[in-house]
């Protein structure tokens, strides 16, 4: 089986490359080899390489910049996704499109089901939802929504927080983190496993559903996440001492884009279809920090 992975240098793309299935040939493409803003080139490349699957791990992920770069965001997160789906389905190939909890508005009080109504409240979420809808017109497209993605490499909250803890403790500063945005972190190692399992199952045509959810288990705030990152980073010797974290409200931390107040994904259908249990967010965090420590400190 041949699988084209877009955004191979992103945090998920990178982990997919490291964790692939046996017997799978991976073609991992960087932005300069496969630019989602160049639809003709993407189409030509797909038809030349004829992958069985594309995992689209590339996206315009800068949520605040998206509010200003609206056309570019929709071109990458929606228009290009349709090109991928249309082109690969023209010869019976399939697309696994990675999507986001930000397709929801956050007004629900219980975890979002794949069938719940979408109502994005920012440009990034709207562009990702349009990418879902446009690609679902073509047979063979699966959508995998995830939330609060982080891993042992890349640009993510966990690694940013690690730096902040390090500096805050040294300079006796306080880290302010919002406590009123509630969600579930997802580590790229677990998410990559789900991508591979979905591909295995769907290659045997075992799945009728088209939209899946995946995150680690647990419902927390960014504040809870920040405190735990400091605690376990200190335990694993990644930082000398965790900094002090102050819980603040979103009103005291203005961002350009609005964020949903509650974006927990209900992952029951994915657990059932794949016969895999979600991993508790603390266990996932500890295991990711251990990997990071091994790489950084050779421990």
Ligand X SMILES: NC(=O)c1ccc[n+]([C@@H]2O[C@H](COP(=O)([O-])OP(=O)(O)OC[C@H]3O[C@@H](n4cnc5c(N)ncnc54)[C@H](OP(=O)(O)O)[C@@H]3O)[C@@H](O)[C@H]2O)c1
Binding residues (CB under 6 A) for ligand X: these are 6-7, 9-13, 31, 34-37, 57-61, 76, 98, 100-101, 128, 146-149, 154-155
- 120 neighbors 104 (Cβ within 8 angstroms): yes
CA angle 161–162–164, rounded 5-degree value = 60
φ, ψ of residue 289 to 5 degrees: the values are -70, -35
Q: Pick the catalytic residue from 124, 150, 223, 292.
A: 124
- 62 neighbors 128 (Cβ within 8 angstroms): no
φ, ψ of residue 6 to 5 degrees: the values are -90, 160
Nearest approach in angstroms of CB 151 to ligand X is 8
Q: What residue has token string 């038809």? A: 47
The strand ranges marked E within 193-240 are: 211-214, 220-221
Nearest approach in angstroms of CB 237 to ligand X is 26
124 part of the active site: yes
- In the complex with ligand X, which residue's Cβ is closer, 3 or 36? 36
- In the complex with ligand X, which residue's Cβ is closer, 5 or 274? 5
Tell how far CA 214 is from the center of its chain.
Answer: 9
Instruction: Give every CB contact of residue 4 below 8 A, 6+ residues apart in sequence.
Output: 27, 29, 34, 46, 49, 51, 53, 54, 55
Nearest approach in angstroms of CB 1 to ligand X is 21
Nearest approach in angstroms of CB 14 to ligand X is 8
d(Cα 97, Cα 237) in Å, to the nearest integer?
A: 37
- In the complex with ligand X, which residue's Cβ is closer, 169 or 190? 190
Nearest approach in angstroms of CB 216 to ligand X is 12
- 135 neighbors 77 (Cβ within 8 angstroms): no
Nearest to 225 by CA among 164, 165, 184: 184
d(Cα 293, Cα 296) in Å, to the nearest integer?
A: 5
- In the complex with ligand X, which residue's Cβ is closer, 146 or 190? 146
- In the complex with ligand X, which residue's Cβ is closer, 15 or 202? 15
Active-site annotation, residues? 124
């Amino acid at each position: 089986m041949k699988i084209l992975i877009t955004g191979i240098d992103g945090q998920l793309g990178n982990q997919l490359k490291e964790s692939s299935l046996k017997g799978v040939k991976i073609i991992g493409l960087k932005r300069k080899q496969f630019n989602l803003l160049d639809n003709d080139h993407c189409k030509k490349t797909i038809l030349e390489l004829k992958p069985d699957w594309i995992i689209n791990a590339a996206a315009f992920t800068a949520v605040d910049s998206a509010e200003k770069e609206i056309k570019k965001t929709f071109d990458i997160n929606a228009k290009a996704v349709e090109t991928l789906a249309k082109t690969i389905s023209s010869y019976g190939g399939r697309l696994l499109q990675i999507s986001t909890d930000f397709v929801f508005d956050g007004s629900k009080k219980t975890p979002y089901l794949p069938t719940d109504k979408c109502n994005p409240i920012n440009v990034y979420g709207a562009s990702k939802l349009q990418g879902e809808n446009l690609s679902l017109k073509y047979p063979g497209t699966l959508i995998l929504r995830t939330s609060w993605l982080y891993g042992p490499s890349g640009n993510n909250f966990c690694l940013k927080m690690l730096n902040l803890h390090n500096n805050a403790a040294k300079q006796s500063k306080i880290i302010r983190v919002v406590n009123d945005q509630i969600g579930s972190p997802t580590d790229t190692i677990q998410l990559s496993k789900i991508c591979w399992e979905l591909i295995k199952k769907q290659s045997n045509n075992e799945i009728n559903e088209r939209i899946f959810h995946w995150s680690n288990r647990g419902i927390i705030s960014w504040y809870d996440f920040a405190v735990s990152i400091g605690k376990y980073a200190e335990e694993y010797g990644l930082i000398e001492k965790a900094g002090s974290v102050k819980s603040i409200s979103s009103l005291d931390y203005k961002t350009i884009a609005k964020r949903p107040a509650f974006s927990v994904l209900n992952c029951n259908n994915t657990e059932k279809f794949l016969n895999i249990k979600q991993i508790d967010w603390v266990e996932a965090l500890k295991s990711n920090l251990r990997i990071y420590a091994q790489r950084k400190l050779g421990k």
